[in-house]
Structure 1
Amino acid sequence: MKNRREHSRLPLSIDVKISHPLFGEKVVTTKNFSEGGLFILAEPSELPPVGEFVDGQVQGMADEAPIVRMKIVRMEGDGLGLQYVVSED
């Protein structure tokens, strides 16, 4: 399988609060991140399908982190790939 990633992944384990009308809010842990998005460790069956949007916010910072809009772009057995989005076009 060809690697189509535009950005290098860096391993990083941080807590991120994600929210969506389907489940409300949930705190998950990241597996890695890049300039284009991040991968969260979560049970995919408990989250919205590929193509849906979620809001995410890094937890545990001294100041409140901004809320970032992300699109679910892939699902794997251990979690979801999320891509940062500027608009929902």
Structure 2
Amino acid sequence: MIVEDERRKFDRKPASIRVEMTHPAFGTIVGFARDVSDGGASVLIENHQIPPVGTVVDVRFKKMVGPINDEPVKMQIMHHHRKTAGLMFVPDPR
């Protein structure tokens, strides 16, 4: 029996969604969400350097025929390993 140290608050759902992360310092980086939850997403980034941990980026999720979210959402880079970044949704201060 394998027991995993699972500290996640939200269930993750497998996904393959195009992700566009934008930041004034590096422009737009395109990746693909491997899984998504109510707390964040795991994003595979192939052709760009992943921003440093702690960076807050504007994120748009896109499907083949259009955006999933019209307005970008704020997400923070929480960790990265090789070509995968863990992003967490940043609560709206309003």
Amino acid at match of 2:49: E
Counterparts of 1:3-82 in structure 2, within 5 Å, are: 3-42=6-45, 46-60=49-63, 61=66, 65-82=70-87
Structure 1 or 2: more strand by fraction: 2
- How many residues in Structure 1 have an aligned counterpart in Structure 2? 88
Shift of 1:52: 1.0
**TM-score w.r.t. length of structure 1:** 0.83
Aligned counterparts of 1:21 and 1:86: Cα–Cα separation in 2? 20
Sequence identity percentage: 33
Which protein shows a greater Rg?
2
Contact 2:35 2:41 in 1 (8 A): yes
Unaligned runs of 5+ in 1: none
| Runs of 4+, deviation exceeding 6 Å | none
CA distance in 2, matches of 1:6, 1:62: 26
User: 1:59 Cα shift?
Assistant: 2.0
Please report the RMSD computed on the Cα atoms of aligned residues, expressed in angstroms.
2.4
When residues 38 and 62 of structure 1 are mapped into structure 2, their CA distance, relative to the original with a 3 A threshold, is closer
Deviation at 1:20, TM superposition (A): 1.2
**Hey, what's the Cα distance between the residues in 1 that align with 2:6 and 2:91?**
24
Q: 2-side partners of 1:14 and 1:62: how far apart?
A: 10
- CA distance in structure 2 between the partners assigned to 1:77 and 1:26 by the alignment: 16
| Structure 2: gaps spanning 5 or more residues | none
